[in-house]
Amino acid sequence: MRLILLGPPGAGKGTQASLLTARYSIPQLSTGDMLRAAVAQQTEVGKRAKAVMDAGQLVSDEIVNQIVSERIDAEDCRNGFILDGYPRTVPQAHALKDMLAQKGQPLDAVIELKVDENALVSRMENRVAETLANGGTVRSDDNVEAFRKRLAEYREKTAPLSEHYAKTGDLKQLNGMASVDEVSKAIEEILASK
Ligand code: ADP
């Protein structure tokens, strides 16, 4: 099962990806997590990405395409994967198509979580409060200013992917404002018909 989860920051992609990982035994490939790991390890990629990420902007297509291409060659992706946070631009979608064609691994579905943008800032603030309450470290881009920039980047560069995947016939849209359980059931129904 090879899936893309689409939706703005705070839409619940990460939550749903974790549930899908457990259900289908396929890994969640979050480019955000991979980039944060590169930043923490101070790799060359991490050094180039840090300031861009902290400002809520997008890391270059070249960097993320490379990271994803290498990651999906790993043994644990043999039965599929869930892409969370990639592709994020139309050129990334084209790059993904080419890399999957080269590897002989077609996509099964693109699932978009549709959410009311007004809810997103408060979801992010809740995530920060929960992280702090659990003694965790808050992401350096989880503050209102960077978050608003992330939303603006989403609107400008990522939202056009809906149209792109509608044209390819892969897109399924869901109401991401429903409960976690309801969204999860709706995703399962879509995947059951695959
Ligand atoms: P969000 O919670 O906003 O969905 P992520 O954890 O997916 O955040 O990503 C955090 C940051 O990492 C983004 O704001 C961006 O700077 C960078 N990033 C992640 N994925 C990509 C991508 N596919 N293309 C460009 N930048 C990316």
- pLDDT above 70 covers a percentage of the chain that reads 100
Which residues line ligand 1 at a C-beta cut-off of 6 Å?
Answer: 9, 30-32, 35, 52-53, 56-59, 64, 85-86, 88, 92, 141, 150
pLDDT tens, position by position, 144-170: 999 999 999 999 999 999 999 999 999
- Owner of token pair 């560069």: 157
| Nearest Cα residue to atom 9 of ligand 1 | 32
67 C-alpha to ligand 1 centroid (Å): 13
Q: What is the pLDDT of residue 117?
A: 86
Among 30, 53, 120, 161, say which to mutate for ligand 1: greatest number of ligand atoms within 8 Å of CB: 53
In the chain, beta strands by DSSP E = 2-6, 28-30, 81-84, 109-114, 171-175
pLDDT-derived band at 194, boundaries 50, 70, 90? confident
Which domains are seen in the chain, by residue range?
Answer: 2-192 (3.40.50.300)
32 C-alpha to ligand 1 centroid (Å): 4
Q: Is the pLDDT of residue 15 over 80?
A: yes
- Owner of token pair 């965790």: 136
Q: Is the pLDDT of residue 78 over 90?
A: yes
Q: What is the mean pLDDT of the chain?
A: 95
How far, in Å, CA of 71 to CA of 16, rounded?
A: 20
pLDDT tens, position by position, 92-133: 999 999 999 999 999 999 999 999 988 899 989 999 999 999
Instruction: For residue 132, give the 3-state DSSP assignment.
Output: helix
Ligand 1 atom nearest to 60, measured from its CA: 25
How far, in Å, CA of 175 to CA of 191, rounded?
A: 16
How far, in Å, CA of 2 to CA of 77, rounded?
A: 9
Q: What is the pLDDT of residue 51?
A: 95
